[in-house]
Chains A and B, each alone.
Chain A
Amino acid sequence: MIRDITLGQFYPGNSVIHKLDPRVKILATLLYIVALFVVKDFAGFIAPLVLLEAVIIMSKVPRKYIWRGLRPVLIIIAFTLAINLFMVRGEIIWQLGVLHITREGVRTAAFMGIRLVLLIIGSSMLTLTTRPIGLTDGIEALLSPFKKIGLPAHELAMMMTIALRFIPTLLEETDKIIKAQQARGADFESGNLFRRAKALVPILVPLFISAFRIAQDLAMAMEARCYGGNVKRTRMNAMKFARRDLIAAILFCAFLAIVVAQRVLG
């Protein structure tokens, strides 16, 4: 069912990784992604692999759940692999008509594949272990230095919070509308492309109307509670940079150092 999508979803837990300050996790994830692009040979992937493995074990998120999130992007990975496999020039090791595979192609494909998988699993660890609210609070805190140059950090974060908050609501709404139209005999699975596109109208029109209704209700509820946007707001759960965050930051810096050293020396 449509509600079973796990990509970018939070997995409730109480592990060390869950408890880390979102600011630390966001920065670490960004730097981790950069580090993946610093790596230039296979040996360089050892450090990120070890780090990721450690994070997965500590987070206690079941591997099955992580894999489920990876499934929708498998097509993109397969596509990248195929392009690299067939398009890279070099020493030909297999040929069929115009298609040929080169030694360099195999190497690049494997390299890109590992990088992509590490990238996707790594960034999904952030969303799996951080509540959406924590994420947006973290982003707001990280962006707030840029408020001075006119960046509406709070408004951006609020928009993200609301958008994230309403993903499940809209999915549920879509599910309901699909079922209601199916109950009226609508068929979304057969026919050519044109017919299928046309079959979406009975879903999209009610969905848009629902989205506007929900938005209006929310705006009214926020106004009723005197929401004023960018006034000085305090938080019920203020983010605290604790000792474990310091330890995590130090360990992560060590990881970065290893990656850079491996590239320079390796």
Chain B
Amino acid sequence: MIEVRNLTHIYSEGLPHESVALDDVSFTIADGNFVGIIGHTGSGKSTLLQHLNGLLKPSSGTIVIDGTDITDSHTKMLDIRKKVGLVFQYPEYQLFEETVAKDVAFGPGNLGLPQEEIDARVRRSIELVGLDYEAVKDVSPFELSGGQKRRVAIAGVLAMEPEVLVLDEPTAGLNPKAHYDILDMVQEIHEREKNITIFVSHNMNDIARMSDQVLVIDKGRLAMDGTPQEVFAREEELKAMGLALPDAAEIVSQLRKKGMELPAGCLSVEEAADAIAAALK
């Protein structure tokens, strides 16, 4: 369980360009939840994610993960990194080793695990991201395609076997097929590992389809926290923040405005199609 209490972060405190990136953010994430975070560019999402594994220290507030306060200066950094795996935006830019296997081994190697354990984890996580271990292990990561590079980078974080997996826009810049492949893979890993998965996305369809819980960040504050149904019911507020509804919900909303009698809360294409078909009968 993750408990964030009154988290505030101020960049360049005391300088002329001081800015409040997070302002008194509090929320709780239950075990096994798949959490989507949405917010306009610059709303503070990335800052929030970086607090979750101790890369940034809050100006005030606490984050407690399974009883461990990771904002406490006595907590060992490596223990936090072991608990929370953070996959950055465009994670393929962090690849540096000569071979895929060596790159994936970097994280577990830093944890000081025995060599056999590292090898086992490397094999396991490369297979977990849907790549053929024997085929890619000795290939240079720079020779792979964009989607494959991203898989390798994600495997590099998975190999640390975190209890919480955090992904910052895992599908940014990918083509539609790679986009769905990566999301399916994330979903599959989530179901298999039964961990907490947190992901940031600008794609409302993905957020609506995948999340159990949605957090909406606006100008550094937590604007909404609820199920996709609850959050996407607040259409006007979301649009005022520069956000949107999932495509299906938008169509239903437009039709309702035109006077068609449709139930609220249709988020997926299937639900919307069924509702429209029922209304047309």
Contact = CB atoms under 8 A, between A and B. Distances in A.
Given A176-B88, A202-B106, A185 B93 contact: no
Contact of B93 (A11, A62, A183, A206): A206
Given A4-B12, A206-B94, A206-B95, A186 B88 contact: no
A88 interface: no
A185 B160 CA distance: 9
A108 interface: no
Contact of B106 (A65, A184, A209, A210): A184
A185 B78 contact: yes
B268 interface: no
Interface in B71-117: 78, 81-82, 85-86, 88, 91, 93-96, 106-107, 110-111
A90 B86 CA distance: 63
Contacts of B78: 185, 187
Given A179-B50, A206-B95, A210-B93, A184 B156 contact: yes
Contact of A202 (B50, B88, B96): B96
Given A65-B16, A179-B50, A179-B55, A186 B106 contact: yes
A183 B94 CA distance: 11
A70 B156 CA distance: 41
A62 B93 CA distance: 38
Interface in B112-163: 142, 156-157, 160
B10 to A, nearest CB: 13
Interface in B138-192: 142, 156-157, 160
Interface in A170-206: 176-177, 179-187, 201-202, 205-206
Contacts of A181: 94, 106
B43 interface: no
Contacts of A62: 16
Contacts of B253: none
A180 B111 contact: no
Contact of B94 (A65, A180, A185, A201): A180
Interface string B46-58: 0000100101000
Contacts of B55: 179, 182-183
Contacts of A179: 50, 55, 88
Q: Name, among A65, A180, A209, the residue most crowded by chain B CB atoms within 10 Å (CB to CB).
A: A180
Contacts of B111: 185
A180 B88 contact: yes
Interface in A57-86: 62, 65
A216 B78 CA distance: 37
Contacts of A184: 81, 94, 106-107, 110, 156-157, 160
A209 B156 contact: no
A211 B78 CA distance: 30
A180 B110 contact: no
B199 to A, nearest CB: 15
A205 B96 contact: yes
A179 B81 CA distance: 12
9 contacts: A4-B15, A179-B50, A179-B88, A181-B106, A184-B106, A185-B78, A202-B106, A205-B96, A209-B142
Given A185-B81, A201-B96, 11 more contacts: A62-B16, A180-B94, A181-B106, A183-B85, A183-B88, A184-B106, A184-B157, A184-B160, A185-B82, A186-B110, A210-B93
